[in-house]
Amino acid sequence: MKIAQSIPEYLESKRAQHLSPRTLEDYEGILHKFAREIGEREVSDIDVKGVRHYLASLTTVSKKRVKNVHTTLSSFWTWAVADDICSTHIPRLVKPPKPEKRVIVPITKWEIKALLEATDCSNLYARRGKSAELYRLRNSRRDQAIIFFLVDTGVRASELCQLQMGEVGFDNACVHGKGSKDRIVPISRSTMNRLKSYTSLKKRNIKDFVFRTKDDNPLTSDSLRAIIIRVASRAGLSGIHPHRFRHTFAINFLRNGGDIFSLQMILGHETLDMVRRYLAIAQTDIQKAHRKASPVENWGLDI
């Protein structure tokens, strides 16, 4: 069976596993691009050299993305071997790159405050022949609810966009998170009040998505990112994107006394690997704070 012909069958097997639409879309894009580059070849004819050459050609993307491509190809070959389409699991013979660890920089308290202030009014706008003025933004309640929700829960952008009214526990202050495993995510009363204020603007059913565009369509990850960037621009900030709120929640959860196991459950991580990275950052903060506030250092006792 040729590679391009086998992709729909592979995707059907993944749909049977009830993977998320976004994951399936990513798999499909990666495999179709690989098929175009490798040519109309039988899966059983693709060798180590072909896969290695393709991965080496991905010079304009990050190492993490190349590793994701390798993981997708590996998943595809696992299926192909199981279905007797080929006999050798080629990607297992090709060593994937080790992705670089990106520096995690949380959003500061002052930046969050600046973002919230920037949700209310536009930047100064001047019409011809008139003085510059501010005008109130129609989506201010939504944008404030989004910021509160992201920094208070650490949910993924896709989870916020897919959140339905029936998944919000308005009485017990929690939401049902959707990751590889369903989970309960607690939220503060302040955030709940922002959600109530926003969702009360229009009557909704339990299947309706909580966060919507100005045209009343469900948010997508791209439209959410665009909202955050616009608000950040009005606040005079750069480098603010939805995933930084997840980092910000995690690090501050640990700074404020939360434990790594609770954090793991809230974030929906299957392992503690990422949580330990957050913990290392929080512990570094504690060490810096100790050096700054230590009585021994401040009293000059080393005499």
Check which CATH number belongs to the domain holding 52 and give it.
Answer: 1.10.150.130
CA 148 to CA 1: how far, in whole Å? Answer: 51
The answer for 36, left when phi > 0, alpha when psi is -120 to 50, beta otherwise, is alpha
Last residue of a domain, one of 93, 121, 144: 93
Q: Is 195 left (phi over 0), alpha (psi -120 to 50) or beta?
A: alpha
**If you search the block for the tokens 């798999």, which residue do you land on?**
27
Per run of 10 residues, the mean pLDDT along the chain (length 303 residues) is 92 90 89 92 94 93 90 96 94 87 86 92 59 67 95 92 89 70 83 92 88 88 93 93 94 89 87 83 74 70 60
Instruction: Give the model's pLDDT for residue 69.
Output: 94
Please, what is the Cα angle at 105 between 278 and 241, to 5 degrees? 110
pLDDT at position 181 is: 59
The predicted pLDDT at position 109 comes to: 93
Quote the domain boundaries for residue 241: 109-292
Within a domain: 302: no
- Residues 278, 144 share a domain: yes
User: Do 85 and 117 lie in a common domain?
Assistant: no
Tokens of 76: 């595809």
Residue 191 domain flag: yes
Question: Does 28 lie in the same domain as 148?
Answer: no
Q: List the structure tokens of 9.
A: 């069958």
pLDDT given at position 194: 93
Are 265 and 121 in the same domain?
yes
Q: How high is the pLDDT of residue 144?
A: 94
Is residue 101 assigned to a domain?
Answer: no
Q: Residue 231 CA to chain centroid, in angstroms?
A: 18
DSSP codes of every residue in 212-259: B-TTSPBP-HHHHHHHHHHHHHHTT--S--HHHHHHHHHHHHHHTT--
User: What pLDDT is attached to residue 21?
Assistant: 80
State whether 214 and 284 are in the same domain. Answer: yes
Number of domains within the chain = 2
Q: What is the pLDDT of residue 99?
A: 74
Residue 2 near residue 42, CB atoms below 8 Å: yes
Which residue spans within 23-153 are E strands per DSSP?
none
Whether residues 169 and 28 share a domain: the answer is no
- Report the pLDDT value the prediction gives residue 123, as an integer from 0 to 100: 59
- Select from 69, 93, 117 the last residue of a domain: 93
Q: What is the CATH number of the domain that holds 129?
A: 1.10.443.10
Residue 33 resides in a domain: yes
Alpha carbon 245 to chain centroid, angstroms: 9
